[in-house]
């Protein structure tokens, strides 16, 4: 018997008016794996991440996370259940400090309610200090000089450090599943390789972190994924090890159809 998957979608469908963006998707993400979600432009990759993270709602079908039905769960509930993500377009609040941006990812730890936080101000301050210490540690693993910029505005950072901050924000809540949407966006090949290697290094030290990565840089997908699912027009057309899906004629044809 195989262990149940960490994330399971069954018949997952998303419609935008007449457009079937996701068409009856059955996708399993196993505990501890790095799953590559690939496919031509517009094939539904970001939509899949959006529907499982509660940004879009499913038109039909179901999603389970660690055995619990999360099909209609809110984004807040999902984040508290251990799901975190980064976005294809950067979502940092640039005038705010690195710390302020990262703390947004730790909301569930600070959100004991206004009344509690007003009365238990010592406890709140201690929790904020603990998060700052953890944020500094995480940033240090990515880039030691970044740890010293905890209270600098995010706008003062270069692209690669901004991406690191976004990833730290996803990791600070100690998620089980992290969704990475096109980590290469806005960065060079070398920068992308570097950041992804850093994520994998941190993953090792955290133990058991499961990742879904959407990426068009196939070299990266080949290097870092355990398994891939290929989408085309919202349908799953293939899944398996990268080298097998990459040589599949149906997959090759889907990619040839795009400019």
Q: Which residues contact 99 (CB under 8 A, 6 or more apart)?
A: 132, 135, 150, 151
**What is the C-alpha to C-alpha distance for residues 171 and 139, in angstroms, rounded to an integer?**
11
Stretch that binds Mg ion, among 39-47, 159-167, 188-196, 198-206 (CB under 5 A): 39-47
Q: What is the CA radius of gyration of the chain?
A: 19
Burial of 259 (0-12, 13-18, 19+ CB in 10 A): exposed
Minimum Å distance from CB 16 to ligand ADP? 3
Output the smallest distance, CB 23 to ligand ADP, in A: 11
Q: How far is the CB of 72 from ligand ADP (least distance, A)?
A: 18
Q: How far is the CB of 234 from ligand ADP (least distance, A)?
A: 7
Number of residues near Mg ion (by CB under 5 A) = 2
Tell me the C-alpha distance between 53 and 47, whole Å. 10
- Binding partner selected for residue 42 from Mg ion, ligand ADP, none, CB under the kind-specific 5 to 8 Å limit: ligand ADP
| Closer by beta carbon to ligand ADP, 16 or else 151 | 16
* Residue number with CB closer to Mg ion (20 or 96): 20
CA distances from 160 to 102, 119, 157, 194, 245 (A): 16, 40, 8, 9, 30
Contact residues: ligand ADP, CB under 6 A: 16, 19, 21, 39, 41-47
What does 68 bind: ligand ADP, Mg ion, none (CB cut-off 5 to 8 Å by kind)?
none
The rounded distance, in Å, linking the Cα atoms of 170 and 157 is: 18
One of 46, 86, 97, 232 touching Mg ion (CB under 5 A): 46
Q: Of the two residues 7 and 98, which places its CB atom closer to ligand ADP in the complex? A: 7
Q: Say how far apart CA 127 and CA 110 lie, in whole Å.
A: 7
Binding site for Mg ion (CB under 5 A): 45-46
């Amino acid at each position: 018997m195989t262990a149940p998957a960490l994330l399971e979608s069954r018949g997952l469908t998303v419609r935008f008016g007449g457009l079937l963006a996701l068409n009856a998707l059955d996708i399993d993400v196993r505990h501890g794996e790095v799953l590559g979600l690939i496919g031509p432009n517009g094939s539904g990759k970001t939509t899949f991440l959006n529907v499982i993270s509660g940004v879009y709602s499913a038109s039909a079908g179901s999603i389970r996370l660690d055995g619990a039905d999360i099909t209609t769960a809110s984004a807040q509930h999902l984040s508290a259940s251990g799901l975190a993500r980064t976005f294809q377009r950067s979502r940092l609040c640039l005038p705010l400090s690195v710390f302020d941006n990262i703390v947004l990812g730790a909301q569930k730890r600070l959100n004991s309610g206004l009344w509690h936080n007003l009365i238990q101000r010592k406890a709140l301050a201690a929790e904020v200090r603990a998060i700052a210490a953890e944020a500094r540690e995480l940033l240090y693993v990515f880039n030691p000089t970044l740890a010293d910029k905890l209270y600098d505005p995010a706008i003062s950072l270069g692209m690669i450090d901004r991406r690191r901050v976004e990833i730290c924000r996803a990791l600070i809540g100690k998620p089980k599943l992290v969704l990475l949407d096109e980590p290469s966006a806005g960065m060079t090949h070398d920068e992308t390789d570097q950041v992804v290697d850093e994520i994998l290094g941190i993953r090792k030290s955290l133990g058991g972190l499961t990742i879904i990565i959407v990426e068009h840089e196939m070299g990266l997908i080949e290097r870092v994924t355990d398994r891939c699912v290929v989408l085309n027009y919202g349908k799953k057309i293939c899944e398996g090890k990268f080298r097998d899906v990459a040589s599949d004629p149906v997959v090759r044809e889907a990619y040839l159809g795009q400019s």
